[in-house]
Amino acid sequence: MAYMRTALLLAALTGLFLAAGFLIGGQQGMVLAFVIACAMNLFAYWNADKLVLRMYGARPVDRASAPEFHDLVAELAERAQLPMPKVYIIDNPQPNAFATGRNPENAAVAATTGLLQMLNRDEIAGVMAHELAHVKNRDSLTMTITAVLAGAIGMLANFAFFFGGSRDRESPLGGIGALLVMLLAPLAAMLVQFAISRSREYEADRIGAAISGRPRSLASALAKISNGAAQIPNEAAESNPATAHLFIINPLHGRGADSLFSTHPATQNRIERLLALENTMGEAGSMGQEFSPAPRATPTRRSTIPRSTPRGPWG
């Protein structure tokens, strides 16, 4: 059901883009909009992951430079039956993480130094399992294409503002159509983009909890990350708000109403679902058929990095 909803929302976003082109330039405008959408999606398919990682100054790490973090991701990837993704660390005090990549074979996961310092090992495992769930579901590609289409609709709105509507007979509303595109298209695109992001976050929470084996640890991590993100700014994200939906928790401080205008579900709702899932899993006595329980971390595996230290066992 979640996949069907995402497909319908993506279709709506594509239709909105074509409709905006039609209102501005008639049939020729719609054809041009279609060509632009195809070109931008092709570019995003091959290059968006590199652009996002570069945008946030992510540095690649391996077993030599960040052994605990790298091995944890490797363990979770094996449990999720995924190829080992590339692992990155972002030097940023705000606790957060995201996944990117066009498919599981070309995926990357990134965590901030703030997250690695603030969370214990079980909580970090829950977060990275959530990101691997996005990889498994190919959400990273879906959400990247969504961001590209939403940005393209914004570009059409700017075009309508500066150049006005087409005088072509095929343009149904002329200048009024351009005005509608300028005012309504970006808002509609934003709402569809947010709806897609929220639907995928719930599913990634569910599958991530199954991969890590500890829904409560992911719930605890979400609470800590949400509190940390509310107090610690992420300047790179503020400069690139179209990427906010990629993170496990909204990194932006200028957040409005939680329901309609939020890139993420309410954190408390996610926590409640995870705790309910834990109860269900406890009654079943196992993690189900997809994944086997992960070995519980020993106290010595807990991160003890002081906040002022940018590097350490976790990177």
Residue 18 and residue 21: Cα distance in Å, rounded? 5
**Residue 131 annotated among the catalytic residues of the structure:** yes
* Burial classification of residue 256, based on how many CB atoms lie within 10 Å of its CB (0-12 exposed, 13-18 middle, 19 or more buried): exposed
123, 131, 201, 203: the catalytic one is: 131
User: Structure tokens of 40?
Assistant: 């931008």
* Residue 88 neighbours by CB under 8 Å, 6+ apart: 53, 58, 59, 60, 61, 108, 109, 110, 111
Nearest-5° Cα angle at 140, 134 to 145: 150
Residue 55 and residue 241: Cα distance in Å, rounded? 12
Q: Contact 128/97 with Cβ under 8 angstroms?
A: yes
Residue 251 and residue 94: Cα distance in Å, rounded? 8
Active site residues: 131
